[in-house]
Amino acid sequence: MSAISTPTPSPVVLERGFVLASAITAIVMGVIALFWPGVTLLTVALLFGAYLIVAGVFRLVLAITSTALGTGARWFIGILGVLVLVAGVIALANPAESLVVLALVIGIGWIVDGIASVVAGFTGRTALPRWLAVVTGVVSVIGGIVIFTLPGLAIATFVLIGGWILIAIGVATLFSLPPKSAA
């Protein structure tokens, strides 16, 4: 009985295939985000809810099965797990509202980060030039306030900018396509 051998593709062919697949995926995802932002946002909301459910279940399992943690820590992790699990169920039941919450969390993050950058700039505890730390901190705080003021517009803007960035990344990735032969 003879063995059937399958030719093994060269590393260059594999790399080209990977680069092409990555580029095409980025471009397609970018186009979907631009032309169907509602579907994109719904998908993000559903993934956010699913993530919260998985994270909540993980915390519950950890609280129940961990022998390395003390009783107080296990209770704390268990209660946190229940809260995160409930938040995930609520997010799946109300995807649009969960996106607003997600936007507000991003806004809070930008405000806190901005305040920290401004303080670092004034105290000199930054790797950046002090003036740049202050400017970027102020811009971050303003961005966070805008998100709080107009969360729906912020979410729509995130999707549109994200779509264009994905398309740009896909096109740039095509330019990094290795030649067919490594001569």
Domain limits, the chain: 12-175
Q: pLDDT-derived band of residue 1, with 50, 70 and 90 as boundaries?
A: low
For residue 134, give the nearest of 150, 148, 114, 164 by alpha carbon: 114
Q: pLDDT-derived band of residue 57, with 50, 70 and 90 as boundaries?
A: very high
Q: pLDDT-derived band of residue 182, with 50, 70 and 90 as boundaries?
A: low
Q: What is the per-residue pLDDT for 116? A: 95
Question: Mean of the pLDDT values across residues 14-26?
Answer: 89
**Phi, psi dihedral angles at 58 (to 5 degrees):** -60, -45
183 pLDDT higher than 60: no
CA distance linking residue 22 with residue 16, whole number of Å:
10
24 pLDDT higher than 70: yes
Q: What is the per-residue pLDDT for 3? A: 65
CB 16 within 8 A of CB 180: yes
Q: What is the per-residue pLDDT for 51? A: 93
98 pLDDT higher than 90: no
Give 3-state DSSP helix, strand, coil % of the chain, rounded to 5: 85, 0, 15
pLDDT in tens, 125-165: 888 899 999 999 999 999 999 999 999 899 999 999 999 99
6 pLDDT higher than 80: no
Question: Mean of the pLDDT values across residues 85-94?
Answer: 92
